[in-house]
Amino acid sequence: MPQKMELNVREKAAWREFTEKNFTGIPSEALEWIERDFPGPWRRGTEPAFSLRMTRPGSALPSPAEIPARPDAYVLRIRPDGIYIDAAGAAGIRYGLQTLRQIVEGNDLIPTGDITDYAVIAVRGIHVDLKGYLPKFERLMKDFTRLAQYKVNLVLLELEDKYNYRCAPDVGVPGAYTFDQLRTLSLHAASLGIEIVPKVQCLAHVDYLLKHPRYRHLREGDHPYQYCPRNDEVVELWKAMASEAMDAFREHRGYFHIGADEADNLGSCPRCEPYGKAESYLFHVDRCLDFLIARGRTPILWDDMFRDPYCSLGPGGAAKIMPLAEKAILNYWSYGYSGNNNTFPFMAEYRRRGFRIWGSSAFASCDNWAGSIPHLDIRIKNIDAWLKTSIEHGLEGIIATGWSRMSSSTPPIEPRENLWFSLVYAAESMWSGRTRCLDELIELVSLRLYGRLMPCYLRRAVMNIAKNPVVLNDSQYGECDDVPELALLQYTAAAESLSQPLSMLVANDRMFYGQIGTGQLPDYLFNGRRALVRKFKEDLDKLEREVRRWMAEFYEPVTIEDFIRTRFGYCRHYAEDFSSRLEQTKPL
């Protein structure tokens, strides 16, 4: 939704006839991206400083447009004889082209008129969390291209064990990305105008690494959740991992996220017991911040330890660590679980202290830790609340998060292909500063992603799958198979909804407790229960085959097996147990 748009649908422009193409102010590496949608040849012009022109041969060029005083502002003018984009900087040219791309998509004739546009939130970040899934590399590259189309300009990239660290052997899963692949991704993101912010946890949430025997001695206590903050080997390992990530993403020199959240195990090992919990946290995190600052990066860390909701730092501990926030961007996260508590009471205190704050909403992962689709009607409440708060307080940035797994001991959450409805809502609202009707959003995103509307039952599931479960009948299998991304949404939604048919088995188990497995049932009841469990097992087999088939389009095998185990494992176990006990029952 542009800030100001005046289009004349009665007057059309045949944009494919505009073969004279020149630009100024666009980095050379962006040309390849531009030419994918608007083939050249392109010529580099002179004036004005940041502009793009596509005209018929011999057409007179208009005067430069008046551009709003915003760094990412642009003016797009469509005339019968040409298309003209003027911008405040190179970013504005990119955003103007993204808007133009949406207008021309599927159309030979487009309406004429003027669009003046700019972002309300300067830093519009999306979290790409790889801990739960390992996308095929070409799919990850396409995800970045799509994010750029929605004017996202920052990605918080969480690698964890989906990258083979050269400095940390044995951590990467089978098929994990290589250093060369990260270099390719880095260059790709830079060409799209997306800043990659690597995130390497410096203290807690490191079970992906500490679960391996060779790193066990770095734990705080016996659990692999957290590093010991007083172990010098820990800070040296973290510095090596951070350095490797910075080298891989060397085009992106602005920021680095250290996590530093939810450090719940402080003071639980002999090395740390003589010290206060807050003192150990301060000691370790301060070293990490200083390391990044010396490398020319602006550190970012989560804010929860500064409000210490779980008393992890001990009495008065939060006050002791406040000096850390003066060295970094404090990333204030609050996700509005179940649609509640979408207020941010610590914002005033952070602002009073003069801290540099970015907000963090959640477009996914908060409503079902073994889910397949975010609850859109709940997620938008949190996204809207953060947008309103950020505008009121003049925040520089928002990072909308989408956790793909809470830790290596919990299931993978929603597949990335199923997140685009809430993700697009977040991206669009950060740009425009406005909200959108959800029915309209679902329709527009469906058309853009799939080239057609979804079946009505999937539209309802996207709104809230807990209220609208997807239990497929035989005629619905195959109806979305022409669009792989939509097929994956359909079948994984059905996998999330298996609790409904499973509940029928459980109800029968309860109803005939003491008879199934140890007693007797009349023939008609026995045969009915046998048919019920047989049908459930057949449906499981059929659905699992489809989920495997379509996940293989997007993900590496390690991801697929994890998803199958956590969605189908218990259902299959229960069905086999029920069937076995039923066979021990004597029919009358």
Listing from the earlier edge strand, what are the strands of the sheet with 20-24? 4-14, 109-117, 74-79, 82-87, 51-55, 20-24, 43-44
- Tens digits of residue pLDDT in 314-330: 999 999 999 999 999 99
DSSP-derived letter for residue 301 is E
Rounded alpha-carbon distances, angstroms, from residue 307 to 128, 188, 283, 287, 398: 25, 38, 18, 21, 19
For residue 7, the model assigns a pLDDT of 80
Write out 18-68 in H/E/C secondary structure.
Answer: CCEEEEECCCHHHHHHHHHHCCCCCEECCCCCCEEEEECCCCCCCCCCCCC
Q: Please list the ranges in the chain whose pLDDT falls under 70.
A: 1-2
Spell out the domain ranges in the chain.
4-117, 123-187+203-232+261-298+307-435, 498-587
Classify residue 401 by its DSSP letter. Answer: B
Q: Looking at domain 4-117, does it have CATH number 3.30.379.10?
A: yes
Please choose, from the candidates 508, 506, 484, 499, the residue with its C-alpha nearest in 3D space to the C-alpha of residue 540. Answer: 499
For residue 445, what are its two tokens? Answer: 């995103």
State phi, psi for 578 to the nearest 5 degrees.
-60, -45
* Residue 203, CA distances (Å) to 134, 241, 351 in order: 23, 13, 26
Q: What is the reported pLDDT for 338?
A: 80
What pLDDT does 409 receive? Answer: 81
Q: Cα dist. 151→89, 102, 255, 425 in Å? A: 14, 12, 19, 12
Fold exhibited by the domain 123-187+203-232+261-298+307-435: TIM Barrel (3.20.20)
pLDDT tens-place string over residues 457-472: 999 999 999 999 999 9
Q: Are the CB atoms for 193 and 90 separated by under 8 Å? A: yes
